[in-house]
Amino acid sequence: MSMNKTMKTLQIIRAEHTELIDAPIPEPGPGEALVRVAEVATCPQWDLHIYYGKPMFAHEQAVPFPYSPGQPGHEMAGIVEKAGPDCTLKAGQKVAAWRDAGHHRPGCYAQYVVMKEEHLLPIPEELPFRKAVSLELGMCVAASVMKLKQSEGIRGQRCGVNGLGPAGLIAVQMLLAEGAREVIGLDPNPQRRELALKLGASFCCEPDSGEIASRGKPGALDIAIDCVGYPQAVRNIMDRTNKAVALFAVQRDDYTLRHQGLSVIGYPGHFREAAEYALDMVIAGKLDFEPLISRVLPLAEYSQGVQLLKKQEAIKICFIPGE
């Protein structure tokens, strides 16, 4: 493929201003693959922060605009267009990304992206892209679920999921697949509670409704995963959980560890085994990303998609770069 050929890629030029720019189709280097992006999904936390010019993490001072082309897109499924030297993937092979190499590199909001082979997993030919597009988020949640399973076990437990955004809805499905006796969802948004019930949650309620007993009392949770990240939400779930709380969400401020005897599990980081765990669940039909996709839009309508996320009128948006 000639480097003088161009592609369309999204670039956030400044807060609330994006452009579809022309860029050369990149060549894969050693151990890399050029992937034709079939579908790419929002990661609402990243998209909402970067699009509106807010640093993703507390230690960051400012968003470096213009942002790297194609970023913050990192949940992607596509087809290998060309394999670089020492890459074992083959042209025409379907793949999904399970890790982003960093926002200093071009991202997946583009028609083509070069990725390290080690950050891609082959997916079955018969698996629709939409079933695999959010594998990266699946990997992230799986890392916490696997750690929770290792710490306290999941089978037979009464489990809580605090926050029913994309990560929480994935956690609901994973906990059920691991044999949880009950999965209780907490979220103020009634539409998200309804979707969690459709995905198999036993019961859902507003976080402050008082419908879940305090720890140590009958009806409290055995274990829980927090997908919110704000101190008040973390405090609320700790107060209702007997054994262990896994802190999945990006920490937004300092937490106070409130209860002696309650295990608090930090996020263990990204690792390939978690991606394989998530993909195995997808293939087995135990994990479905597709219900999380509220709208499918061309990449040119990225700004409209992010605005839907901000108004909580969508859980995730799937973009088709080729349209």
The rounded distance, in Å, linking the Cα atoms of 147 and 322 is 38
**Residue that has been written with the tokens 């799986």 in this structure:** 142
User: Which domains occur in the chain, in start order?
Assistant: 6-133+293-320 (3.90.180.10), 137-265 (3.40.50.720)
- pLDDT exceeds cutoff 60 at 3: no
What is the reported pLDDT for 258?
A: 78
Tens of pLDDT along 190-246? 999 999 999 999 999 999 999 999 999 999 999 999 999 999 999 999 999 999 999
Q: What is the mean pLDDT of the chain?
A: 97
Among 179-183, 228-232, 284-288, which stretch is predicted with the lowest mean pLDDT? 228-232
Confidence of residue 1 (pLDDT cuts 50, 70, 90): very low
The rounded distance, in Å, linking the Cα atoms of 208 and 70 is 39
Tens of pLDDT along 95-118? 999 999 899 999 999 999 999 999
The rounded distance, in Å, linking the Cα atoms of 10 and 262 is 45
Confidence of residue 49 (pLDDT cuts 50, 70, 90): very high
The residue among 304, 309, 280 whose CA lies nearest residue 292 is: 309
State the pTM of this model: 0.97
